Homo-oligomer: A and B are copies of this chain.
């Protein structure tokens, strides 16, 4: 995994996990990787992953069973959507709109492309 410099690593890991959940790769009550495991895989310090998991637990996206591990929460999809949507609106939309304005584009132009994208990738 490649980390951007502009955002905290632990939040980027949170996004990574939310994506796994939102794309249904990780299902409700399924175990997520252990702190140490994910830390090793992403080549970060276990404390950093711990921080991500604490954060996601707070957002009711994952829950914990002591001595066993972290699991995808019951309302994970709802809560992950809400969390990521806020982030998306605040951070990504302005960049998008700026580009669209610069390029003289309209929202209408996106419509058919979005349909095409969904057909190609998720069906």
* Number of chain A residues whose Cβ lies closer than 8 Å to a Cβ of chain B: 35
Give bound CA distance, A114 to B96, whole Å: 9
CB-based nearest B residue for A102: B22
Taking a contact as CB atoms under 8 Å apart, the answer to whether B93 and A113 are in contact is: yes
Partner of A99, one of B92, B100, B104: B92
Minimum CB–CB distance from A91 to chain B (whole Å) comes to 11
Q: A17-41: which residues lie under 8 A (CB-CB) from chain B?
A: 19, 22-23
CB-based nearest B residue for A24: B102
For this complex, 17 residue pairs linking A to B, each with C-beta atoms less than 8 Å apart, are: A2-B5, A19-B102, A22-B102, A22-B103, A23-B102, A58-B58, A84-B99, A85-B103, A85-B105, A89-B113, A92-B96, A93-B117, A97-B114, A101-B118, A101-B121, A107-B107, A107-B110
